[in-house]
Amino acid sequence: MRPLGHRLWQTYALWVAGLVTLALTVSGFVQLWLIQRETRTAVQAQQALEATKASARIERFISQTGTLLGASLSLLDSGHVGDADADVQIELYRLMKQSRVVEELYWIDQHGQERVRISRMGLDRIGQREDRRQSPEFLQTSAETMWFGPVTFAVNQPRVVMARRGRRAESGVLAAQIELAQLRDIIEETRFGSEGYAYVVDGDGRLLAHPDFLQVLALPDGASRPPVRAAMAGGNGGALIEFDTPEGQAMVARAAALSVPGWRLITEQPRTEAYAPVRRALATALLMLVLAVLAGSGVGIVLARRVVRPIQHLAESADRIGEGQLDYRIDLPRNDELGQLAARFNQMTERLGDSLRLLETRVTERTQELAEANAMLDARRQEAELASQAKTRFLASASHDLRQPLHTISLLVGVLRRQAVAPEVGQLVGHIQSSVAAMETLFVGLLDISRLDAGMSRPVLGDHGLAELLHRVAASHAPEAERKRLRLAVVPSRCAVRTDAVLLERY
C-alpha cells in the first residue's frame, strides 16, 4: 500500500507556506503603503522646511531694505530731516550706503512731485519736480505696509520697486529700486538631497531666482511648469505636486507664498530621489518576504512531516491489523489526539482478538456438535437402509409365496366356471375370479416395487405412443363399464412419452 503521507505532508506544507506568504504579502503591501504615505509626508515636510528656511532668508533680505526705508521716513516724520531737497538727498545717500542691493532711491513729496532721485549707475536728479501723481507707488502706498511694484529686468537682472508712505503728509513717499541678484545666493543655499533645488517666481510666472543663473538670463516663461501654474492658481494648499518635465524626468514639487504679493518659492526634487526610501523599503520587504516564505515553507514541511509520520504509522498499523495480525499493538507515545487514536486502535484490536477467539471457540463447539449429529444421522440412515432392504426382501419372498396359492385358486375358479352350475353360482364364480385377478395384480405390482427398491429390476426407457396404451386400458375396463352402465370412450391422441411401457401399463 502506498504511504498516505506521500501527498498529505505536501498538502500541509503548501497550506502553511501559502498562509505565511499571504500574511506576509498583505503585511508587506500595508507596510509599503504606510511607508509611501510617510515618505510622501516626509518629502513634503522636508520641502516645507527648506522652503521655510529660504522664505525666512528672503524675508530678511526684503525686510532689511524696508527697515531702512522705515527709518528714513521716521526721521522725516519726526522733523529731524527737513523737507529741503538737500536734506533728503543726504539722507538717501546715507541709506544707499547702508544697503548694497539698492540701485535707486527717490522721494515724492505730498503733492506727487519727484523732488530727489539718486542712482548707483545713473545721474542723480535733484529738484526737477517730475509729476508722479499717477504713479502706482504714489497712489497705492500706505504708511502701514510696504508696497511692491512689478518686477522689471535691466540687463537681464530682475529688479523691484518697494515704497512706503510717511505717517505725516509732509513726509511724502520714499521708494527704492532694489536688485534681486542676492536672491540667487539664498536659493543656492536651499538644497535638499543631492538633486533638490528651489527657485522664485513672481505673480506672472517669471523666473526671479534660480540656482542656474543662465535660467534667469534666458528669461524663460515659468508659467509653463505645472508647479508654477498650480501656485499661480492658488489651489495647491502646500501639497506636493507631481509632474514630468519635457525631458521626461519625474519631479516632485511644492509651492510656498512669500510676503511679496504674487511671489512664490517653488521647491523641486526628482521623484526617484524623493521616493528612494520607498524603493529601499520595497527591496527590503521583498527580500524579507522571500526569506519569510522560505522559512515558512521549511517550518511547514517540518511540521507537516511531524504530523504526517504518526498518521502514516497508524495507516501501516491498520493495514497489519487488517491482514489478521491481531496481536500487533501500535507504539505511538504521544499525549495528543494522535496518541489517543493509537490507544483506541489498540483497544479495538484487543477486543477484536477477543471476539475472534470467542468465535473460534463457538465454531469449534458447533462443528463438534454437527459432527455428532451427522454421525447419528448416518447411523439412522444405515438402520433405515437395512430396514428397507429387509422389507424389500420380505416383500419379494411374501409376494412370490402368495402368488402360488392365488394361481391355484385362479385355476380352480376356471375349472369351476367350465362346470354346469346354476346362474347364481356362475355369477358368484365370476366375482371370485375377478377378485383373484385383482389380488394377483396387486401382488405383481408389490413384487415389482420391491424389485425396484432392491435394484433388481431396472426400467427400460423408450418412446411410446399413448393411443395404443389407452385402447388396451379401455378394452380391459370395458366389461366393468358395461356392468355399471357407463360408456367408456378414448379420445384419439398422437402424444408420446418416454418411459417403460410395461411398467406404465401395469401401474
- Summarised one tens digit per residue, pLDDT across range 181-239 is 888 888 888 777 778 888 888 888 888 888 887 777 776 666 778 888 887 776 556 67
Name the residue with cell 391422441.
493
For residue 227, give Cα distances in angstroms to 194, 206, 230: 20, 13, 5
- What pLDDT is recorded for position 4? 44
The strand pairing partners of 251, in sequence order, are 243, 270
For residue 166, give Cα distances in angstroms to 107, 110, 137, 401: 11, 10, 13, 183
Q: What is the pLDDT along the chain (507 residues), one digit of tens a residue?
A: 444 444 555 666 677 677 777 777 787 777 777 777 777 777 777 777 777 888 888 888 888 888 888 888 888 888 877 768 888 888 889 988 888 889 899 999 989 999 999 998 888 898 888 999 999 988 999 888 889 988 888 777 888 999 999 888 888 999 999 888 888 888 888 777 778 888 888 888 888 888 887 777 776 666 778 888 887 776 556 677 888 888 888 888 888 888 888 888 888 888 888 777 767 777 787 787 778 777 777 776 776 667 667 777 777 777 777 777 767 777 767 776 767 777 777 778 778 778 888 888 889 888 898 888 888 888 888 887 777 777 766 666 666 666 677 677 777 777 776 775 677 777 777 767 777 776 776 666 666 666 666 666 677 787 877 777 777 777 777 777 888 888 888 888 888 888 876 667 665
Q: How far apart are CA 268 and CA 251, in angstroms?
A: 7
Q: How far apart are CA 217 and CA 323, in angstroms?
A: 100
Q: How far apart are CA 413 and CA 410, in angstroms?
A: 5
- What pLDDT is recorded for position 176? 92
- What pLDDT is recorded for position 106? 92
* pLDDT, tens only, 20-41: 777 777 877 777 777 777 777 7
- What pLDDT is recorded for position 3? 45
Q: How far apart are CA 409 and CA 414, in angstroms?
A: 9
- What pLDDT is recorded for position 395? 64
Packing angle between helix 5-78 and helix 276-322, nearest 10 degrees?
A: 160
Q: How far apart are CA 99 and CA 66, in angstroms?
A: 11
SS (H, E, C) 349-414: HHHHHHHHHHHHHHHHHHHHHHHHHHHHHHHHHHHHHHHHHHHHHHHHHHHHHHHHHHHHHHHHHH
406 CB-near residues (< 8 Å, 6+ apart): 436, 439, 440, 443
- What pLDDT is recorded for position 113? 92
- What pLDDT is recorded for position 161? 92
